[in-house]
């Protein structure tokens, strides 16, 4: 079941439909016309049964009923209140200030649907995996604090893996790719996608090649750049499909890189096997070191820390970025408080409109 029929949901649905490993797809969204059109298109290009399902994913009871009715083996959560690409191309002061502050300040757009879906999964007694595409590097650890972490996130670190694979293929077209493992926070995906290697080595993502984990961070930045926008979603979908197919019942295991396995902050090398996602760190890298790396680099999205109760605190740079338009947007965010999340989302809307 795929929840959220925006651009990413449609891309993931098409990829799964043509991959030949899915017998039945349930496509859930809140627009009857959009869901019906996407379902008809997906059924036409793939070779599986496709069912449209009308649901407002912010309505927890309705989502729980959908779980009961469809009994999925795998759930893919793609929905948010607003797309993270919504500010792309905008040059007005409010949009520029929020972009400079980092995506963390827009968590009130990313958390509510994911919270609803994970609570519905709990209420329905759903035992299977949930893969999340809504800013997983940050929403995953928030929900982990609340006891609601999805099985894994999708994209981001996996996108960097694909960029590294493409760079190796371009340099050595006659050789198969070695094992690639990526340790990276969400914001580090941007420079990799643009082919813009940070001058400071400490700001680069970590790339490990082969079983012995030889460092080759520079490979993340070797391919020609792709400007920020919806075109990135094609790479996000491609990075997500191997993980999703490996999460299906009876699938062979896959070694990949994903954000937020089990709700950890940032992205890690993982092994996906029998519906579970576990860390697959290179030799000499401990889980504590990997988590500390990603917690430190969360500042690139404006996040200073996440407290054990799920409250998100923002960096001084994020405060400074919005000081001239709406300082309130950078105050601590108690992520488990639905009413407060709605209030902050409304405040974001007011500023951006």
Where do the H-state alpha helices sit in the chain? 7-19, 32-45, 60-70, 93-101, 107-124, 136-145, 157-171, 186-194, 232-247, 287-297, 316-322, 338-352
Q: Which residue has the tokens 């408080």?
A: 337
The helix (H) or strand (E) run that includes residue 276 is strand 276-279
**pLDDT (tens digit, 9 = 90+) per residue, 227-271?**
888 889 999 999 999 999 999 999 999 999 999 999 999 999 999
- Say if CB 76 and CB 1 are below 8 A apart: yes
**pLDDT (tens digit, 9 = 90+) per residue, 139-150?**
999 999 999 999
pLDDT of residue 226: 94
Q: Residue 93: how many CA atoms within 13 Å on its side-chain side? A: 6
Q: Which residue has the tokens 């407002």?
A: 56
Q: What's the predicted TM-score (pTM) here?
A: 0.97
Average pLDDT, the chain: 97
- Say if CB 14 and CB 5 are below 8 A apart: no
Angle 340-344-345 from CA coordinates, rounded to 5° = 115
**pLDDT (tens digit, 9 = 90+) per residue, 183-231?**
999 999 999 999 999 999 999 999 999 999 999 999 999 999 998 888 8
Catalogue all structural domains in the chain, each as residue range(s) with its CATH number: 2-152 (3.40.50.720), 157-296 (3.90.110)
**pLDDT (tens digit, 9 = 90+) per residue, 103-114?**
999 999 999 999
């Amino acid at each position: 079941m795929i929840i959220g029929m925006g651009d990413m949901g449609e891309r993931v649905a098409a990829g799964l439909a043509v991959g030949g490993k899915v017998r039945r797809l349930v496509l859930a969204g809140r627009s009857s016309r959009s869901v019906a059109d996407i379902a008809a298109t997906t059924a036409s290009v793939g070779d599986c049964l496709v069912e449209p399902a009308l649901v407002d994913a912010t309505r927890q009871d309705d989502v729980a009923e959908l779980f009961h009715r469809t009994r999925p083996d795998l759930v893919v959560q793609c929905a948010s209140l607003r797309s993270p690409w919504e500010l792309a191309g905008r040059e007005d002061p409010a949009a520029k200030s929020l972009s400079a502050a980092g995506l963390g300040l827009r968590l009130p757009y990313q958390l509510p649907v994911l919270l609803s879906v994970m609570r519905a999964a709990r209420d329905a007694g759903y035992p299977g995996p949930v893969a999340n595409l809504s800013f997983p590097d940050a929403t995953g650890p928030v929900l982990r604090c609340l006891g609601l972490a999805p099985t894994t996130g999708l994209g981001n670190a996996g996108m960097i893996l694909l960029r590294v694979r493409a760079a190796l293929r371009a340099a050595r077209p006659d050789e198969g790719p070695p094992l690639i493992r990526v340790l990276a926070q969400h914001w580090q995906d941007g420079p990799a996608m643009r082919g813009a290697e940070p001058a400071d080595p400490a700001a680069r993502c970590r790339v490990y090649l082969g079983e012995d984990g030889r460092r080759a961070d520079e490979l993340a930045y070797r391919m020609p750049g792709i400007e920020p926008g919806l075109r990135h979603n094609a790479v996000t979908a491609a990075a997500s499909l191997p993980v999703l197919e490996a999460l299906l019942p009876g699938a062979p295991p896959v070694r990949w890189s994903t954000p937020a396995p089990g709700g950890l902050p940032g992205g890690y090398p993982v092994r996906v096997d029998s519906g579970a996602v576990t860390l697959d760190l290179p030799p000499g890298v401990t889980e504590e070191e990997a988590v500390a790396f990603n917690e430190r680099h969360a500042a690139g999205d404006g996040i200073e820390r996440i407290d054990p109760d799920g409250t998100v605190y923002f960096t001084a740079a994020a405060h400074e970025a919005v000081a001239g338009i709406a300082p309130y947007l950078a105050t601590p965010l108690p992520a488990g408080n639905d009413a407060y999340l709605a209030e902050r989302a409304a405040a974001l809307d007011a500023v951006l409109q």
